[in-house]
Chain A
Amino acid sequence: EVQLLESGGGLVEPGGSLRLSCAVSGFTFSNYAMSWVRQAPGKGLEWVSTISLGSGSTSYADSVKGRFTISRDNSKNTLFLQMNSLIADDTAVYFCAKDVDGPLHWGQGTLVTVSS
């Protein structure tokens, strides 16, 4: 069974940093691209970032480019999202997803709240 478990969310002040993790099981992690998608409270889904299976290629939404960094550790079956210079608009539930030409299986998400 495919499982994805996000962690690392919490309350952070504007300008602060946070690192999200996504531990996966039930599939060969190193064979798949992975993505982060977020959802602000009461709002729709927004693609954030994608990383290729070998970390050779990354892409970002314009809204986070230059502030967020996606990475992965294939030896630990774990995906990461380093978030710097956080702003109020980054407040959202962050989902990690197994990516096959787009999100396929999703975790349950972790809430990030940016507030003073």
Chain B
Amino acid sequence: SYELTQPSSVSVSPGQTARITCSGDVLARKYVRWFQQKPGQAPVLVIYKDSERPAGIPERFSGSSSGTTVTLTISGAQVEDEADYYCYSAARVFGGGTRVTVL
């Protein structure tokens, strides 16, 4: 079975840039999605196909890919971006999640 590895936590000051990585061998041949989940809420798609942004997602969210690692970048992080972020690959696997703290 495949595994996707994320850091457990990332902290950033408001207005600064947060970067969350997701690593796994399967990412060399599968696209990644990123989901944002706030406490008590359902996950929300923020990035698909490694770097595409769905309608309604702020431009400060972006994605990139290099080999077996993909990165979610939040440029100019806002307090409302504080949440858990999960990567997901088409191999039906989620990363373990990254808690992003903005303070």
B22 shortest CB reach to chain A, Å: 12
A62 at the interface (CB under 8 A from B): yes
B contact residues around A106 at 8 Å (CB): 42-44
Contact with B along A78-115 (1 / 0, CB 8 A): 00000000000000000100000111111111000000
Please give me the residue from chain B that is nearest to A61 by CB atom: B92
A47 at the interface (CB under 8 A from B): yes
B1 at the interface (CB under 8 A from A): yes
Q: Contact between B94 and A45 (Cβ–Cβ < 8 Å)? A: yes
Q: Contact between A102 and B90 (Cβ–Cβ < 8 Å)? A: yes
Please give me the residue from chain A that is nearest to B49 by CB atom: A101
Partner of A45, one of B1, B35, B45, B90: B35
Q: A44-B96, A50-B92 are in contact. Are A107 and B42 (CB under 8 A)?
A: yes
A81 to B97, CA, bound (A): 25
A59 at the interface (CB under 8 A from B): yes
Please give me the residue from chain A that is nearest to B92 by CB atom: A47
- Interface residue tally for chain A (C-beta within 8 Å): 19
The majority secondary structure among interface residues of chain A is strand
A contact residues around B79 at 8 Å (CB): none
A13 at the interface (CB under 8 A from B): no
Q: Contact between B86 and A102 (Cβ–Cβ < 8 Å)? A: no
Q: A107-B42, A109-B42 are in contact. Are A45 and B92 (CB under 8 A)?
A: no
Please give me the residue from chain B that is nearest to A47 by CB atom: B92
Partner of B43, one of A59, A61, A62, A103: A103
Please give me the residue from chain B that is nearest to A49 by CB atom: B92
B93 at the interface (CB under 8 A from A): yes
B contact residues around A73 at 8 Å (CB): none
Contact with B along A54-88 (1 / 0, CB 8 A): 00000101100000000000000000000000000
Q: Contact between B94 and A46 (Cβ–Cβ < 8 Å)? A: yes
A37 to B93, CA, bound (A): 11
Please give me the residue from chain A that is nearest to B31 by CB atom: A101
Partner of B33, one of A37, A46, A62, A102: A102
6 A-B pairs within 8 Å (CB atoms) are namely A44-B94, A44-B97, A45-B37, A45-B86, A45-B88, A102-B90
